[in-house]
Chains A and B, each alone.
Chain A
């Protein structure tokens, strides 16, 4: 807005303020800091109706014919972009107690992943959880592996305890040609 526009606006506001000061019009003024009803507000829908306990600030104004002239704003107009409009959603709940500064590493238990790292190379996952009852009863580990796709045997890494004794000939390949009777 140009400067002369501002001057005209200020004069207009002054004139309106004078009219308002002589008691013409209806005003409802909220004072949330002192109003216990308002202090309870803040519903998640952001719709919360203003309590009906709010009273006219100007006595005798609540008649159908009483219409206020435009009040004098207390701020200057702005052409700025709007500020972010943020709702007061999800404000309930009790925060967890603060965690203390750790004194030891947080362990990550790889054994709780259903991959048997005694077999295969990194990136492979040997899971025994899909054994059938028959395979489990017969301890048919190699048959199971073949069924789920390991038809050429499986690497038994150096140092592996080979808990299911898959590499009977010790060539580093479990369920290989020399391992299956």
Chain B
């Protein structure tokens, strides 16, 4: 122990002395003065580590940090070897100190560059940022380094630096057995100039613009699934009409946005109140639905179907597959990183709560039988919002439909493999989140979830304005109150009071990494709210937008179109009628000058941990994958925005794809790029597997 203390003192003295040496050294010849890295060439060292660098990492693994003369330039490079690994990682990181960590400016972007060799592909550039209020925070993993035995250079661009950030550190993480050697680190400010105010569209410049389409949906479209061919599947089933149910009239319509036309799709069962999710191949898995309407005295309520179907966009038809174990009316549907699907909750065939966890095996294209599944007998309520976490567990956000006071209220983390449930605190008024909505905030790598609005169905008070945000990166995550939802207007232009909010609210992720909310109502199937706003996850603030011109309460849906606009539709009123009008919102980013274009794409078949090449017509600042919507009842737990850090070479852009399929489950995604004005391109479809 004494030896250790002596060693630390010697190291401290060594760092101080070496910093002095650094100050007296001529500029490193490898880089221009714009390089923000202190001792990026690693030539100043104390024999243990380069000055301004430290050993980092965690977990069960055996490792070796050392200096090596196998350098890219100069005499020294850094080597990190994992000789065995159970879990965790190791990395040489820049010191988190005022003199060593590069200073950065919010909103700016930086090209990070490193020369390296590696014997393992399990390496990734990792960043931390210094938040002036919160201290040092993990920020993001940017790009993987392919195996190479000769020095290669990897350059990757940071996303715009978040507000309240004044310093950055980064390094290369190794998390597989092998040896990583790095040298000649560089960090250069490459911020693109903003063109300034180029909008001449009046109010639309700041609040966007709504169009009410001149035609209506042909069905009670309370389920909407955006397909990878750009069409939208509207599933109605009986559409909450007992008359249609008794007549056996079940509807599905395929909406073709580019022509404004609809195609009827034969519908094999009452898929009203089913669950749905896109599979890795782009087909749509539909599970459960409506087995029966309630008896007159409600001694028997709605019952759930066991049925399941796969809708194929190529044939525009449903195909029945094997039944689930139990019936489900209002089930969840969450795709996992391996392409399988977990479905939970809802009501069974007998109208009681379903405690059966259903597991769809994608490779076998079937629901597993009871003995093949892991059951923990939890009742999750109706349409429980189950969001896939980066480690494969599910986060139940506490957003649900109906069911005050049931076990299905509150929030928790569910591990299907072990069956364990860990409750998560902090959700405000957890029993009053009926018909709220949750979203995995952009980017998915940040692992934050926001839950908005809701009400208490039991006594039908005014819906609330509550917003709760949770950071699932924390060791013990808990919801924290977020900024209240902005108020809107009621019928007749009556402004909401400060206490009045929304249920049936819609949240849609936009290509610029913000979240658009609109629609909703204050009471059960009544009191529509006309109000919309955009949430910026980097500042945790709402900005009011133009209010939705049409009412959208119960059984409404909203989703992002591949052209960057947002569609909203549906309104099931208390008298049982259903508005089929459709409105489309153009956010302000569509009025800020020409849109960037993706002029070529190397391949649409993408793999995890890869760098995919595209070309663009103008410089861009960011790119992202957005999973297309599969939404109903204010529930779309698979909606996510996956950041694609850039490797920029003029107008040729390398897009660095996460290695973690739990961050971006396999399937078709909309690829957007965004220019310095914040204007997104039209999406290109890519297939990640």
Mark A residues whose CB is within 8 Å of B: 1, 9, 25-33, 38, 41-50, 52-56, 61-71, 73-96, 98-102, 105-108, 110-115, 117, 120-127, 129-130, 148-150, 157-160
| Mask of B460-479 contacts with A, CB within 8 angstroms, 1/0 | 11000000000011111100
- Known interface pairs A31-B62, A105-B350, A114-B458; A83-B524 also in contact (CB < 8 Å): no
Alpha-carbon gap, A51 to B404, bound state (A): 49
Asked if residues B347 and A108 are in contact (CB atoms below 8 Å), the reply is yes
Q: A30-B63, A71-B81 are in contact. Are A113 and B353 (CB under 8 A)?
A: no
Supposing A102-B377, A112-B404 touch, asked if A26 and B70 sit within 8 A by C-beta, the answer is no
Question: Contact: A90 with B353, CB < 8 Å?
Answer: no
Docked complex Cα distance between A28 and B607 (Å): 36
Given contacts A30-B62, A96-B422, 10 further A-B contacts (CB under 8 A): A28-B65, A41-B88, A75-B177, A80-B147, A81-B609, A81-B659, A85-B173, A99-B377, A123-B241, A148-B526
Q: Could you name 21 residue pairs across A and B whose Cβ atoms are closer than 8 Å?
A: A26-B66, A28-B64, A28-B66, A32-B60, A41-B59, A50-B55, A52-B8, A62-B47, A73-B119, A74-B81, A75-B119, A75-B177, A76-B119, A80-B147, A81-B608, A84-B662, A96-B423, A99-B376, A114-B460, A127-B460, A159-B296
Determine the distance from Cα of A68 to Cα of B96 in the docked complex, in whole angstroms.
Answer: 26
Contacts of A122 in B (CB 8 A): 240, 242, 293-294, 576
> Shortest 8 CB-CB distances between A and B: which pairs?
A106-B353, A105-B352, A92-B476, A114-B460, A93-B422, A50-B55, A82-B609, A95-B420
Q: Which of B123-131, B253-261, B542-550 contacts A (4 or more CB under 8 A)?
A: B123-131
Whether the Cβ atoms of B119 and A88 lie closer than 8 Å is no
Query: Does any Cβ of A come within 8 Å of B385's Cβ?
Result: no
Task: For the complex formed, measure the closest distance between the CB of A1 and the CB atoms of chain B, giving whole angstroms.
Answer: 8
- Near A by CB (< 8 A), chain B positions 33-92 give 45-48, 54-70, 75-76, 79, 81, 83, 87-90
Judge whether A81 and B56 touch: CB under 8 Å: no
Q: How far is the CA of A83 from the CA of B178 in the complex (A)?
A: 13
Q: Convert B1-31 into 0s and 1s, putting 1 for each residue whose CB lies closer than 8 angstroms to a CB of A.
A: 1011001101100100010000000000000
Contact of A86 among B62, B181, B241, B660 (CB under 8 A): B660
**In the complex the two chains form, what is the Cα distance from A17 to B565 in whole Å?**
61
**Interface-located stretch among B137-145, B195-203, B209-217:** B137-145
A74 to B79, CA, bound (A): 14
Residues of B near A101 (CB, < 8 A) are 377
Q: Which residues of B contact A42 (CB under 8 A)?
A: 58-59, 88
Partner of A82, one of B93, B121, B337: B121
Looking at the assembled complex, report how far the CB atom of B360 sits from the nearest CB atom of chain A, in whole angstroms.
21
Instruction: Give the residues in chain B near A115, CB-CB below 8 Å.
Output: 524
**Beta-carbon contacts of B368-405 to A below 8 Å, as 1s and 0s?**
00000000111100000000011111000000001111
- Which residues of chain B have C-beta atoms less than 8 A from A71's C-beta? 64, 66, 68, 79, 81, 179
A84 cross-chain contacts in B, Cβ below 8 A: 337, 608, 659-662
Q: Which residues of A contact B444 (CB under 8 A)?
A: none
- Shortest C-beta distance, A76 to chain B (Å), equals 7
Tell me whether A52 and B4 are in contact in the complex, defined as CB-CB below 8 angstroms, given that A45-B136, A82-B124 are known contacts: yes
Report which B residues bind A (CB closer than 8 A). 1, 3-4, 7-8, 10-11, 14, 18, 45-48, 54-70, 75-76, 79, 81, 83, 87-90, 93, 96, 119-124, 126, 128, 136-138, 141, 144, 146-147, 149, 173, 175-179, 181, 240-243, 293-294, 296-298, 301, 337, 347-348, 350-355, 376-379, 389-393, 402-406, 412-413, 419-424, 447, 457-461, 472-477, 523-527, 572-576, 607-610, 658-662
A13 to chain B, nearest CB (A): 10
- Closest Cβ–Cβ distance, residue B344 to chain A (whole Å): 13
Question: In the docked arrangement, what's the CA distance between A47 and B171, Å?
Answer: 10
- In the complex the two chains form, what is the Cα distance from A63 to B389 in whole Å? 45
Task: With CB as the reference atom, state the residue of chain B lying closest to A95.
Answer: B420
Which chain B residues lie closer than 8 Å to A29 at the CB level? 62-64
Q: Determine whether the beta carbon of B525 is less than 8 Å from that of A112.
A: no
Separation of A172 and B100 alpha carbons in the complex (Å): 81
Q: Which residue on B lies nearest to A94, using beta carbons?
A: B422
Contact A55 B3 (CB under 8 A): yes
In the bound complex, residues from chain B placing their C-beta under 8 Å from that of A38 are 58
Q: Report the minimum CB–CB distance from B44 to chain A (whole Å).
A: 9
Which residues of chain A are within 8 angstroms of B421 by Cβ–Cβ distance?
95-96
